Structure 1
Amino acid sequence: MIPKTTSTLQDAIRLLYIFVTGAKLLENHPDGYPGHFDGKAKLHAMDFWVRYPDFLAFELLNRYERDDDDRYFDLAKAIIDDQEPDLRSNPMIRYRFGAFEDLNESLSILISKGLIITDGEKSNGKIKHYDYYVTSAAYALIETATKEHPILEWYEKRSRLVKEISGDLGGTALKDLQYKHMEYANTSLGTVIPSIKEEVKRRINQILVAND
């Protein structure tokens, strides 16, 4: 176990932003749900990039080198310049299938408030795949909360960036992408995934020197 740095309510707010920004918009769901979020593995993978700004910055640098898009480099550099790995990191444990934390308490808040509806595909009496439906109330709450509490704007912008980086990849593909970093892959099961802040700093400096 690692000491929690956030409350259950804070976790619920963070997850709601991920659900709302990461959901695929639906046009004609029979129950009128406007958004669908595909799977718990994807939720954990996107949550990891929100909680580990340095790993997100590393992936942004990968996109910069792949796409030759200066915007990704600027975003990665801003994460480091703003000291986000020190101020905003929220550690996770590496388990068998990657970064994980039991989010059931936080999810129960969202479900009890009618913001998220859960469904799933069962096999032998067990759910093997989760579907989350995002309700109109969730979209309305996020819009209102962000306007009334500007401090929450960081979560909206960050979850949208994580959604952009995630694209249409599913949870397994996102975790495979994250596993490509050796610090993540080599973390012992049951232990905290460490920061890669210094590595990201060195990589940024190398790019700056090469482009000088």
Structure 2
Amino acid sequence: MLRHHFGAYEPLDDALAVLRGSGLVARRRRGTVNRVRQHDYFLLTPGRTVAREMIREAPAFQYYLDRVGLVLDLADGRGGSQLKKQQYLQREYAEATRGDRIGSVSARARARLERLRRPAEGEDTEKGEHG
């Protein structure tokens, strides 16, 4: 994503235009005529039907559904402003200048996941007779 005036920016309208044009997704804007505070996107009934058909016909697409579940778990009910504050805690995000791409955190995230997956020190040692 690109670093923009108030955080990360990716033109979702461009990516979702095909879905909106096909009647699969709807967008609602919140705010005033002069200042849109938030865009909400909704998967419509025809979109749900297409998504189910895609997964049935090409099970590999289940991967994307699983990723959405992980993102929702990670967000844990927090809104955009709260998530943006958390993003600024990441060096790659905070140090990116406006108009530049925000650097990847995947290497650090994978290393952290690996550390979390390792058993705690001493858990793998054999227990004594009374242990």
Q: TM-score, normalised on structure 1?
A: 0.50
Q: What are the Cα deviations for residues 70-95 of structure 1, in whole angstroms up to 9, with x where unaligned?
A: xxxxxxxxxxxxxxxxxxxxxx1121
- The alignment-based identity, stated in percent, is 27
Are residues 1:198 and 2:115 paired? no
Please give the residue correspondences for 1:81-120 in structure 2 after superposition, counting only pairs within 5 Å: 92-120=1-29
Is 1:179 aligned to 2:59, yes or no? no
The structure richer in helix per residue is: 1
Give, in whole Å, the separation in 1 of the partners of 2:106 and 2:30. 39
Distance 1:211 1:101 in 2: 42
2:72 alignment partner, one of 147, 163, 185 = 163
Deviation, 1:198, is 3.5
Gaps of 5+ in 1: 1-91
Partner deviation per Cα, 1:94-117 (whole Å, 9 max, x = no partner):
212222111222221111111112
For 1:167-197, what per-residue CA distance to the aligned partner results, in whole angstroms no more than 9, with x for missing partners? 2111111121222212221122211111234
Which segments of structure 1 move beyond 4 Å, counting only runs of 4 or more?
A: 204-207
- 2:31 matches 1:138: no
Find the residue that maps to 1:180 and give its secondary structure. Answer: coil
SS in structure 2 of the partner of residue 110 of structure 1: helix
Q: Deviations over 1:10-44 (max 9, x none)?
A: xxxxxxxxxxxxxxxxxxxxxxxxxxxxxxxxxxx
When residues 126 and 148 of structure 1 are mapped into structure 2, their CA distance, relative to the original with a 3 A threshold, is: same
- Find the counterpart in structure 2 of residue 123 from structure 1: 32
Give RMSD over aligned pairs: 2.3
- Counterpart of 1:61 in structure 2 is none
**Equivalenced residues, count:** 121
SS of the equivalent of 2:109 reads helix
Larger Rg: 2
2:26 counterpart SS class? strand
**2:29 is aligned with what amino acid?**
G
Residues 112/205 of structure 1: CA separation in 2 closer, same or farther (3 Å cut): closer
Change (3 A) 1:210 1:183: farther
Q: Where in structure 2 are there 5+ consecutive unaligned residues? A: 123-131
Give TM-score scaled by structure 2 length: 0.75
Q: Tell me: CA distance 1:211–1:133, structure 2 relative to 1, closer, same or farther (3 Å).
A: same
Match of 2:121 in 1: 211
